[in-house]
Structure 1
Amino acid sequence: MQRDYWPTTEWRTREPAALGMDTEKFSELNQLIKTQYSNLNGIVVVHKGYIAFEKYENSFIASDTHHVASVTKSITSALIGIAIDKGYIKSVDEKVLDFFPEYVSVASDIQKRAVTIRQLLTMTAPFPFTWKPGGGAQEPLDRLRRQKDWTKYTLDLLGQKGRMGEFQYCTAGAHLLSVILTRTTGKSAREFANEQLFGPIGMKIIAERQMKSFGLEDVFGKSLKGWIHDPTGNSTGGWGLCLTLRDMARFGFLYLNDGIWEDKQIISTKWHDESITMNANKYGYLWWLHEEDGNYAYMAMGDGGNAIICIPAKDLIVAIASKIVNKPRDIWPLIKNCIIPSVVIR
């Protein structure tokens, strides 16, 4: 797809009508946000490479960063892809335990020894808890944050009574991918992202921040800043990253352009395509997949309604930052009823 500019330094904005969009749909969007989505802190809509709509609520402004929760997983996926492209990791079919030679696996751990990177990426690794659609993951993340060694704790869970190949959403499993990144590249996921992903596409560089404690507020709450790490220095792979809305949109724009940025292939076409190919689980390599009314979308989704939604057929990106609350309202109706129909002229 030809672009007349790249938002590496700064996003350009255009009025929706100039981009062939129905302005009335954005009036409807405004009203829905005010009446039904009180936890929404900001939204950016990009069409044809230009910001067509940008709105902030609850005293937030454009320069503020937001904890994007599980949107972090899709960033981790991109970093695994870059690490494979650069030869740090051979392939997604490498066995997970091969990266942890110090971990002692008993003879009965047949399932555990068979788990691959691919299964962590697709959420089909065996873990001893269940995931319920709409109800979230039933995994002990609060117990995880109280461990001195998150890696050993997660490896201990892996293979216990879970079913190999069955979709089972697991945030702790995504953290293992971050540890694998560090063990193969010699850099934390944060450092690797700054160098190979964030910097090249103009996203804000994430500074190092030492964790003084691992209380609930430090790990999941208001004290969370930058990109948090576990007690042994590994960036959290499944949550814990803070981004501006415009940087969330930059990441979406990279994927909307098949991993290319300013004529440079940041993420290989192969990895890009594998990551977002529709399947029976409607989940790619740490990307949610959705198709409705002929519109295909791939989505980086986080708790509370945090999201980066890419709709290639409409040349659309929607980035949303939200406060994490109990039982948040589904954000898809905003996309389906207001934003997709706003594109009148493709």
Structure 2
Amino acid sequence: MNNNPLSNLEHLIKKDYSNTAGIVIRKDGHLIYEKYFDGYSKDDVLHVASVTKSIISVLIGIAIDKEFIKNIEQKVLEYFPNYQVRRGEKTIQNVTLKNLMNMTAPYKYKSEPYTKIYSSDDWVKATLDLLGGKSRIGEFKYSTVGTQILSGVLTNATGQSIIEFANENLFKPLEIKTPHNAFIENKEAYFAFLKDKYVTGWVADPKGVNTAGWGLTLTPHDMAKIGQLYLNEGLWNGHQILSTTWVQESTKEQSRWGELPYGYLWWIIDDCYAALGDGGNVIFINPTKNMIVTIASRFMPRAKDRIELIQKHIIPLFT
């Protein structure tokens, strides 16, 4: 360690957050720092894991703005008119889009059945089959597989694939390169997507429906653009990409996991909010300081908490 605070920060990252691939920081609308590690460059995309959920929140907001979706109080099954509800199943009929968005929908499993879902031919239907059960609506239950239902809602509501809708309404306006479909056909391919150093695309099921809970690849700059869009309350280069109302509603407390507030697929942290992905992927937005910190990371089980890194080391250094 030396007297250069920036060198000390980068030393800390290499030592304690060794799976970090890239960091981008924007303040007052300007890029003030970017750094890449472990052989990655600014053009390399990484699997951002559950940050994908927050991107889906953006797309749901756009779909509501464009009136493809009426509102999030709608019942989920309104978007699946051909789905056959099993005899005696009542709970599923009352689950709303809001329940999926704020993680208060009930499911019939104790631990998430990733392999069962991702080895099926239709991931949305496989997840719908797990919705409901004996748990009550309104209890917080974080679910990655459950979010997949929102992919079905988006495709059925808009008549477009997730990638087509995202490209037209979000990626193209923000100059984010459109990902291709990355098909996962077996368990080996699933683990390869999680663990390989260089992966690209957006994971899709055999029907071509993209994932909602994980599976999107982005660069740190792409992530920072999403953060800037939210910091600008939906405005981008003079165009309202997303309504201010949705930005505000999706990033205020809608439910709570213990002491941690949750919005619509965004985490609320004090007076800030964040998209958080396993392994240390983060879009962290601090409206008070007009600042965005994005971190993209390789997959690593039990990766050290990036929020602590951001709050204790990054924000004090750059403000």
TM-score of the pair, normalised by structure 2: 0.92
Question: 1:82 maps to what in 2?
Answer: 62
Question: 1:39 maps to what in 2?
Answer: 19
* Of 194, 210, 213, the match for 1:220: 194
Paired letter, 1:213: E
Question: 1:290 maps to what in 2?
Answer: 269
Q: Which whole-Å CA distance do the structure 2 matches of 1:280 and 1:88 have between them?
A: 25
Aligned runs of 1:106-185 on 2, under 5 Å? Answer: 106-129=86-109, 138-185=111-158
Q: Which whole-Å CA distance do the structure 2 matches of 1:153 and 1:332 have between them?
A: 34
Q: Which whole-Å CA distance do the structure 2 matches of 1:83 and 1:337 have between them?
A: 37
Aligned runs of 1:199-214 on 2, under 5 Å? Answer: 199-206=172-179, 208-209=180-181, 211=183, 213-214=185-186
Change (3 A) 1:271 1:231: same
Question: 1:93 maps to what in 2?
Answer: 73
Paired letter, 1:216: E
SS of aligned partner of 1:199: helix
**Which structure 1 residue ranges, 5 or more long, are not aligned?**
1-22, 131-137
* Of 312, 316, 319, the match for 1:337: 312
Number of equivalences: 310
Aligned runs of 1:250-289 on 2, under 5 Å? Answer: 250-279=225-254, 281=256, 282-289=261-268
- Point out the more displaced range, 238-247 or 143-152: 143-152
CA shift for structure 1 position 114: 0.2
- 1:303-329 per-position Cα deviation (integer Å, ceiling 9, x unaligned): 101111001101111110111111111
Change (3 A) 1:71 1:212: closer
Change (3 A) 1:247 1:210: closer
Change (3 A) 1:279 1:90: closer
TM-score of the pair, normalised by structure 1: 0.85
- 1:257-297 per-position Cα deviation (integer Å, ceiling 9, x unaligned): 10111121111011111100135511101001111xxxx11
* Of 188, 199, 208, the match for 1:233: 208
Q: Which whole-Å CA distance do the structure 1 matches of 2:106 and 2:178 have between them?
A: 35
CA RMSD of aligned residues (A): 1.7
CA shift for structure 1 position 107: 4.3
Change (3 A) 1:299 1:229: same
Paired letter, 2:88: S
Change (3 A) 1:180 1:224: farther
Q: Which whole-Å CA distance do the structure 2 matches of 1:24 and 1:100 have between them?
A: 58
1:305 touches 1:321 (CA, 8 Å); kept in 2?
yes
Q: Which whole-Å CA distance do the structure 2 matches of 1:100 and 1:221 have between them?
A: 34
- 1:187-245 per-position Cα deviation (integer Å, ceiling 9, x unaligned): 11111010000111121222x33627343334534374211111111111111111111
1:29 touches 1:334 (CA, 8 Å); kept in 2?
no
